[in-house]
Amino acid sequence: MVEIIRIDNVDDPRVQVYCRLTEAQLKNRLSPSEGVFIAESPKVIQVALNAGYVPVSLLCEEKHIYGDAKDIIESCAGISVYSGSRDVLARITGYTLTRGVLCAMRRPEPLSLRQACNGASRVCVIDGVVDTTNIGAIFRSAAALGIDAVALTRASCDPLNRRSIRVSMGSVFLVPWAWVDDSVSEMKEIGFKTVAMALSDNSIPLDSAKLESEPKLAIIMGTEGDGLSHNVISSADYVVRIPMSHGVDSLNVAAASAVAFWQLRRNKP
Residue 28 CA neighbour count, 13 Å, CB half:
3
The pLDDT score that the predictor gives to residue 13 is 83
Does position 11 have pLDDT exceeding 60, yes or no? yes
The pLDDT score that the predictor gives to residue 243 is 85
The pLDDT score that the predictor gives to residue 269 is 47
pLDDT top residue among 89 and 44: 44
84 beta partners: 61
Is domain 113-264 given the CATH code 3.40.1280.10 in the classification? yes
Nearest Cα neighbor of 232 from 241, 243, 242, 221 is 221
The pLDDT score that the predictor gives to residue 145 is 96
- Separation of CA 67 from chain center: 27
In the chain, CATH 3.40.1280.10 covers 113-264
The pLDDT score that the predictor gives to residue 31 is 53
202-217 per-position pLDDT tens digit: 889 999 988 988 999 9
Tell me the torsion sign for CA atoms 30, 32, 33, 38.
positive
Q: How many CB atoms lie within 10 A of CB 66?
A: 9
The pLDDT score that the predictor gives to residue 184 is 95
Does position 23 have pLDDT exceeding 80, yes or no? no
Residues 6+ apart with CB under 8 A from 161: 23, 37, 132, 135
In the chain, CATH 3.30.1330.30 covers 4-106
From 46-60, 74-88, 115-129, the region with the lowest mean pLDDT:
74-88
Which amino acid does the sequence have at 106?
Answer: R
Nearest-angstrom CA–CA distance, 203 and 26: 41
Q: What angle do CA 193, 194, 198 make, to 5 degrees?
A: 150
Does position 19 have pLDDT exceeding 80, yes or no? no
From 3-7, 222-226, 261-265, the region with the lowest mean pLDDT:
222-226
Which amino acid does the sequence have at 178?
Answer: A
Residue 98 — very low, low, confident or very high, per pLDDT cuts 50/70/90? low
pLDDT top residue among 18 and 229: 229
Residue 28 — very low, low, confident or very high, per pLDDT cuts 50/70/90? low
CATH annotation of 4-106: 3.30.1330.30
The pLDDT score that the predictor gives to residue 131 is 94
Does position 138 have pLDDT exceeding 80, yes or no? yes
The pLDDT score that the predictor gives to residue 76 is 80
Residue 124 — very low, low, confident or very high, per pLDDT cuts 50/70/90? very high
Nearest-angstrom CA–CA distance, 249 and 259: 15
146-201 per-position pLDDT tens digit: 999 999 999 999 999 989 999 999 999 999 999 999 999 999 999 999 999 998 77
Measure Cα distances from 88 to 14, 125, 180, 183 in Å.
14, 41, 41, 45
Residues 6+ apart with CB under 8 A from 171: 47, 136, 139, 140, 142, 143, 144
